[in-house]
C-alpha cells in the first residue's frame, strides 16, 4: 500500500524575517539549513520512490538537504510550478505585522488561510487549488495507483490544497489547517486510493 509524504520546506530567510514570501525566490535561512538533519530523521523509516517539488529555491534546497541526509540524492524528481506557493501579490516582501496594522488582523488572516479571499494582486487558496489539484490527480495520484511511495516537498498553501483534497476538508474549515516548517504529514492508501491512515510527524 503506497504512502504519500507531504513535507513543508524548511524555514526560509523571509520566514525568519516574518515577511510575505509568495513567489519571491528566497533561500533557506541558516536555522532552516541546520534543521535538515532532524527533519530527515522523520523520513528515515519510509521507502521513497519519487519526489515532487516546485522550482522555488526554498523547496529545492529542502529536497537537496533532506535527500543528502537520507543518502537518497539520486531519486527520480519532478519539479513543477503547479506546486509553487500562492502568489501574495502586493503583500510580497512586506512584514506581516506591519500589514496587520494596516489592514487589520482579521482581514489578513482571511487572506492567508481562507478559501476564496484574495490578497491584493495575488491568489486565493481556491486559485492555488486550480493549479495544484489537476497536477496532483494527473501525476501524483497516478504514481500512487502504481504503488509508488511519493514525497512532495512544497510550500504552505500548495500543501494545504492537497491536504484539503485528500481529507475532503470543507471550504469553511480549511482556514484551520496549518503546516509548520519542516512538518511531515503521512498518508497511507489502499489500491483504490482510499485513505487508510494519517500520521503527523
The conformational region for residue 104 under phi > 0 = left, psi -120 to 50 = alpha, else beta, is: left
Q: How far is CA 1 from CA 67, 135, 142, 196, in A?
A: 22, 22, 14, 9
- Alpha-carbon distance of 95 to 88, in angstroms, equals 12
pLDDT for 123-167, tens place per residue?
999 999 999 999 999 999 999 999 999 999 999 999 999 999 999
20 burial type by CB count under 10 A (0-12 exposed, 13-18 middle, 19+ buried): buried
Report pLDDT digits (tens) over 100-132.
999 999 999 999 999 999 999 999 999 999 999
> How many domains, in total, are found in the chain?
1
Could you list the residue range(s) of the whole structural domain that residue 76 is in? Answer: 3-200
DSSP 8-63: EPPPBHHHHTTB--TTS--PBPHHHHHTHHHHHHHHTTS---EEEE-SSHHHHHHH
Quick one: DSSP state of residue 187? Answer: E
Q: Residue 80: give its domain's CATH number.
A: 3.40.50.1240
pLDDT tens digits, 13-64 = 999 999 999 999 999 999 999 999 999 999 999 999 999 999 999 999 999 9
CB atoms within 10 A of CB 97: 12
Catalytic residue among 9, 61, 123, 156: 9
For residue 199, list its beta bridge partners. Answer: 186
Q: pTM, whole model, 2 decimals? A: 0.95
Identified catalytic residue from 17, 41, 61, 85 = 85
Q: Catalytic annotation on 109?
A: no
Question: HSE on the CB side for 70, CA within 13 Å?
Answer: 23
Closest CA to 75 of 62, 86, 85, 64: 64
Amino acid at each position: 500500500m503506497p504512502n504519500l509524504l507531504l513535507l513543508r520546506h524548511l524555514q526560509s530567510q523571509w520566514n525568519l524575517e516574518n515577511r510575505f514570501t509568495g513567489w519571491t525566490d528566497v533561500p533557506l535561512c541558516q536555522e532552516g539549513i541546520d534543521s535538515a538533519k532532524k527533519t530527515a530523521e522523520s523520513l528515515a523509516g519510509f521507502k521513497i520512490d519519487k519526489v515532487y517539488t516546485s522550482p522555488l529555491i526554498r523547496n529545492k534546497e529542502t529536497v537537496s538537504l533532506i535527500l543528502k541526509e537520507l543518502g537518497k540524492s539520486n531519486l527520480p524528481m519532478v519539479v513543477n510550478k503547479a506546486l509553487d506557493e500562492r502568489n501574495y501579490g502586493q503583500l510580497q516582501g512586506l512584514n506581516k505585522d506591519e500589514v496587520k496594522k494596516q489592514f487589520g488582523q482579521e482581514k489578513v488572516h482571511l487572506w492567508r488561510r481562507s478559501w476564496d479571499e484574495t490578497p491584493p494582486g495575488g491568489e486565493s487558496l481556491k486559485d492555488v487549488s486550480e493549479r495544484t489539484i489537476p497536477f496532483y490527480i494527473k501525476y501524483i495520484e497516478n504514481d500512487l495507483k502504481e504503488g509508488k511511495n511519493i514525497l512532495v516537498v512544497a510550500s504552505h498553501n500548495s500543501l494545504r490544497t492537497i491536504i484539503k483534497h485528500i481529507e475532503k476538508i470543507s471550504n469553511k474549515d480549511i482556514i484551520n489547517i496549518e503546516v509548520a516548517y519542516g512538518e511531515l504529514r503521512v498518508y497511507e492508501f489502499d489500491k483504490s486510493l482510499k485513505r487508510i491512515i494519517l500520521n503527523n510527524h
